[in-house]
Amino acid sequence: MCDITMKKKLHVMHQHLYTKESQDLFIGEATHDIYDDYEQYTYEEETGAKVILRVYENYAQIERIGDVHSILKFIENEDTTNPIKSEFGDMNIDLFTHLYRKDDNQVVIAYDVLHSQDHDGFKITFMMKGDLNEYN
């Protein structure tokens, strides 16, 4: 059961760990729900896809619901196998999480996508700002 709900400004940045290329994935308003054992941030991308970030003490989960439905779990120093469903079929993606850090205003996840002999590394940063309900 949700204990507290509020609106926050959210900035989501994605950076390639090895090329250092970066891009803003989202800048806007998110719903912030606080539960007994985790916090949840929900927002809608320009494409109409819904994204849910669940922040637990020891891991994070990002669920994206749109043309592609994915649930990615990030546990520091562990491999995870994550389901991805699309109109073209179902598959799994393997990830290794190098870093998971959270505080009141930021969540940082650094991870590798594991495929065959190659690895692609990324860092995703969620920066939260203010309770927008205070300003309404």
How many C-beta atoms surround the C-beta of residue 46 within 10 A? Answer: 8
Q: What token pair was written down for 119?
A: 């690895």
Please report, as a single letter, which amino acid is at residue 104.
D
pTM for the predicted model, two decimal places: 0.90
Overall domain count for the chain:
1
46 DSSP assignment: T
Helix (H) or strand (E) holding 113: strand 106-115
Token pair for 27: 């800048």
pLDDT tens per residue across span 7-56: 999 999 999 988 899 999 999 999 999 999 999 999 999 999 999 999 99
Give the CATH number, domain containing residue 116: 2.40.128.20
Domain with 88, as residue range(s), is 4-135
- 83-96 pLDDT, tens digit each: 999 999 999 999 99
By the 10 Å C-beta count (0-12 exposed, 13-18 middle, 19+ buried), 115 is classed as exposed
Cα R_g (the chain), whole angstroms: 15
